[in-house]
Structure 1
């Protein structure tokens, strides 16, 4: 009996340790690293196909682009940080709401791109989640793009976060030009640098067939380099965000209603998503002009184009 009680005590202690570790606060350096991505940047985007995986496949042309981008902290709590990216044209001052990244510490679930215009909400295994941050990335309309889960590492004094392998839809730079693949499997890596931060993407372009088989076409390396700048006037971006932040907060709440729990979300728009982007951007523009946008106007867009994902 004493032996059994000892075993029980050991198991109870182990379970208590696991629970405590799971509930342990994030390393303060993690939050500092994520928050270090806020600021004003000149950004260079580069994508190169590297390894070609199918006979007769021809390497796509390298892609180079760039822009001026400010990253604004929208939400900051001990377990969640939301960063909004906004582009500004250096000559005209034209503002474009860009992508958004949400960071959640030990998130219990995340959305995963499962089929065209469909994202399933799935639990994150405890062993992958312990001590990890899940980064979820969103489209300009705040529609979902992809998530990845990983831990920050500080080896040799370098702050680097590396995700696990996850699925994402085709990037905007490709889906208007190509139809030979329909998904990307990717590992993402963020590194804080002396001059800003970088985003590396290790992508594989995949044709996912209806019967479940997959054909890998090519691997691609993406490199987004964010270098701090004081040479760009970002005041138009802050003016835009001051006028529209509450509106976009309401839009995020409507997306959260689908993405916070299973089954997830399905978009009835075409892959370009313009059926939602245009009305939402138009409504934001009206607010910037001092006009009013009713909540039912936002609801109308979602009612027309958004529905729960199929249950699987």
Structure 2
């Protein structure tokens, strides 16, 4: 039986379930590609429904930044978009999150335990005519995936994911220990001035015995507004210089995320043990210095390992 929040969120996406009959991957691709460009971004997160006795609503979070979205890969069944932040005053560049889109993906990775993501098959009915979006950390480490279909009702391009798990965001894990996972539906919508990312989050404590405690629901709203007021040249220069390096990093991650069982990180939850050396190496590449492939491999050897094989998979293999 679905939990109340799962049931409520399933109602949110129910009308989209019939759209697979009218799948238009070419139109969908143009919708995804439309997210490229230069933006001023506002981030807002508000706890809404409180689900446990004594739980107090946490303060709303507001932040923002200037971010360019650069096309990295574009094939009929895969699109990769890299987000890069720029400080408008100093020109300082920060490689930010990445989103990959897969048409009718046969598998995806799922956040299953602390620092652990398992690669699991997708049912044919769930992925037919659908796009799976996978989101990655600044180091290109995995964050979460969601699968859903684009919908164009009333001329509005909207993609809505299914319900999936993700780890705590950076804004939370540095100050929260009362929950350890988010249950999330994501919705992307193209607007006349850019695009939006809505997040329907539930903060969940997943216990070792498999039980779950839902603490609160949260609504996240990220508003990407096109801008011509910010000079994104430093971001484009950075990516031009380092794109080849980051392609090698992605290849290492793909070795774990392209097949079961998946990946487990041996870093602390902040991931800095990998972020620092990878960003340092990228900085060296930007300066024209060589970085040996072995140096990248060592970072992965130190901090990344295959996820443990899931018990269900072991049981199936033993029969």
d(CA) in 1 for partners of 2:24, 2:82: 22
Structure 2 counterpart of 1:268: 266
Matched, 1:74 2:76: no
Q: For residue 200 of structure 1, report the CA deviation from its aligned partner.
A: 0.1
Contact in 2 for aligned 1:197/1:226 (Cα 8 Å): yes
Answer with 1 or 2: which has the greater Rg: 1
Structure 2 counterpart of 1:123: 121
Q: Per-residue CA shift, 1:149-170, capped at 9, x if unaligned? A: 0000000000000000000000
Q: For residue 27 of structure 1, report the CA deviation from its aligned partner.
A: 2.6
Q: For residue 25 of structure 1, report the CA deviation from its aligned partner.
A: 8.2
Structure 2 counterpart of 1:179: 177
Q: Per-residue CA shift, 1:174-225, capped at 9, x if unaligned? A: 0000100000000000000000000000000000000000000000000000
Report the secondary structure of 2:42's partner residue.
strand
Structure 2 counterpart of 1:57: 55
Matched, 1:209 2:213: no
Contact in 2 for aligned 1:26/1:105 (Cα 8 Å): no
State how many pairs are aligned. Answer: 291
Q: For residue 289 of structure 1, report the CA deviation from its aligned partner.
A: 1.2
Q: For residue 102 of structure 1, report the CA deviation from its aligned partner.
A: 0.1
Q: Aligned match of 2:106 in 105, 108, 124?
A: 108
- Segments of 4+ moved more than 6 angstroms: none
Unmatched segments (≥5 aa) in structure 1: 1-20
Q: Per-residue CA shift, 1:97-126, capped at 9, x if unaligned? A: 000000000000000000000000000011
Structure 2 counterpart of 1:195: 193
Query: Alpha carbon RMSD of aligned pairs, Å?
Result: 1.2
d(CA) in 2 for partners of 1:79, 1:311: 28
Q: Aligned match of 1:253 in 239, 242, 251?
A: 251
d(CA) in 1 for partners of 2:263, 2:158: 31
Q: Per-residue CA shift, 1:246-287, capped at 9, x if unaligned? A: 000000000000000000000000000000000000000011
Q: For residue 26 of structure 1, report the CA deviation from its aligned partner.
A: 4.6
Q: Aligned match of 1:139 in 137, 140, 149?
A: 137
d(CA) in 2 for partners of 1:26, 1:167: 27
Q: For residue 29 of structure 1, report the CA deviation from its aligned partner.
A: 1.1
Q: Aligned match of 2:29 in 31, 38, 44?
A: 31
Q: For residue 129 of structure 1, report the CA deviation from its aligned partner.
A: 0.5
- The two structures have a TM-score, normalised by structure 2, of 0.90
Structure 2 counterpart of 1:10: none
Report the secondary structure of 1:177's partner residue.
coil
